Chain A
Amino acid sequence: MQYNWDWGILFRDPYIWWLVDGLKWTLMIAMCAWVLAFVLGSALGIMRTSINPYLRLIGTTYVEIFRNIPLLVQLFLWYFVFPELLPEEAGRWVKREMPLPGFTTTVWALGLYTASRVCEQVRSGIDAIGIGQRNAGRAIGLSEAKVYIHVLLPNAYRIIIAPLTSEFLTIFKNSSLALTIGVIELTSMTRQIEEYTFQGFEAFTAATIIYSLVTFTVMGFMLHLEKRLHVPGRIVVEK
């Protein structure tokens, strides 16, 4: 194996700033997409567990469509096809004038895709609480909406902290797909460093360490949170 090592490259101007900038975009995509995925996913999870069959059908249809098409294909559909299907004015705005087109499209696509997965987690959390609490809530006179707000959701979120954490980490990792539509996030930056300096080994190692560090930090923090918010009386399944 012939290779000229130069680990110093990672700490030299401008490459270190490229990495910082890449990480910044990766985190921004992940967090914005997570807000969308969490809000929409929760709404869909409520719909899928609702007593109304039409709401359930809408929720199920959404989940089946979004989780059975590869994320990359969805990203291309939003980026290349969606503007063409809009009325002319709106399409032109999306293509020409929308600020940060790559970033916005990635957040949107990633958020909608992950919402289908969050929905399934919220649904399993609500199902795990059991019908008893729902009935009890109704029996003391809470409306259907109030049962969700005060009884089902607070419990469900506490049960599904671990799976929601891994969904967040999946968004964080999936944000790398943004490079296919020209967003210079962390993976794309390291690729760029490789192309400029031919120090691929060092560049990819840097990205690997940064991704792992963020992942393990988030996991450590959420494990701590999970212990504190543990619902008393539930058996903890050791992972």
Chain B
Amino acid sequence: MGDFDFAIIYNNIPFLFEGMKTTLLLTVAAVIGGIVIGTVLAIIRIANVPILAWIAAAYVNFFRSLPLILVIFWLYFLVPLVLGRPVGAFSSVLIAFVLFEAAYYSEIIRAGIASVSSGQVAAARAIGMTYTQCMRFIVLPQAFKAMIPVLLTQAIILFQDTSLVYVVGLKDFLVSAELIANRDQKLIEMFMFVAVVYFTICFAGSLLSSHLQRKLST
């Protein structure tokens, strides 16, 4: 370990930072997209809309039975075919992540909505609110507040999962580091650095999540 070359990391900071920007952008966009579609799926299932509720349940179970890598390959292959023109890896990967994560987020959100007591829904309906108003002003705000720690944990998992874009060669943090590692034959330095960076971010995130959990439960 005596000849661990720190300079290789230091000299390539700007390049690695560009990769990290892609990783973060993908994470944030996928979290937002996943939560939006996940909420829609969860509400459809909770409201028990005929046929649609069944479709939403099938969607969630279907995506949860597949490996993320397979979904990434599917979209990478399918999106250009459907659009009839080549698209960048980022767009197809983003669609894959949103579709995939929506299934997981929907389960979290469904549990969150279920945690709001049914008495509140009855009360809201009794004072004349429509179903939509009741969801919008009473149920969802409370549900989301209770869900924040779990949503954050899922975001950390998603952040880690974005490393799988490696399989289509999108230049995220891991792929950028790997390019340098192979170019300069510095595999030990680069992969260890990558691990330390991921660990630091994810560990900080999980500390924040458990802090929020404690704060909300008191």
Please list the residues of chain A having a beta carbon within 8 angstroms of any beta carbon in chain B: 1-3, 64-65, 67-74, 76-77, 80-81, 84-85, 169, 173-177, 179-180, 187, 190-191, 194, 200-201, 204, 207-208, 211-212, 215-216
Contacts and interface: CB of A to CB of B under 8 A. Distances in A.
B160 A3 contact: no
A191 B166 contact: no
Nearest to B81: A1
A69 B195 contact: yes
Contact of B66 (A71, A77, A201, A212): A212
B191 A68 contact: no
Contacts, number: 102
Main secondary structure of the interface of A (DSSP, over half): helix
Interface string B33-65: 000000000000000000000000000011011
A172 to B, nearest CB: 8
Interface of B: 1, 61-62, 64-70, 73-74, 77-78, 81-82, 84, 156, 160-161, 163-164, 166-167, 174, 178, 187-188, 191-192, 194-195, 198-199, 202-203, 206
B174 A174 contact: no
A211 B188 CA distance: 35
A187 B199 contact: no
A84 B188 contact: yes
12 contacts: A68-B198, A68-B199, A69-B160, A73-B174, A73-B195, A77-B192, A81-B191, A173-B67, A176-B68, A177-B164, A204-B74, A211-B65
Contacts of B203: 64, 68
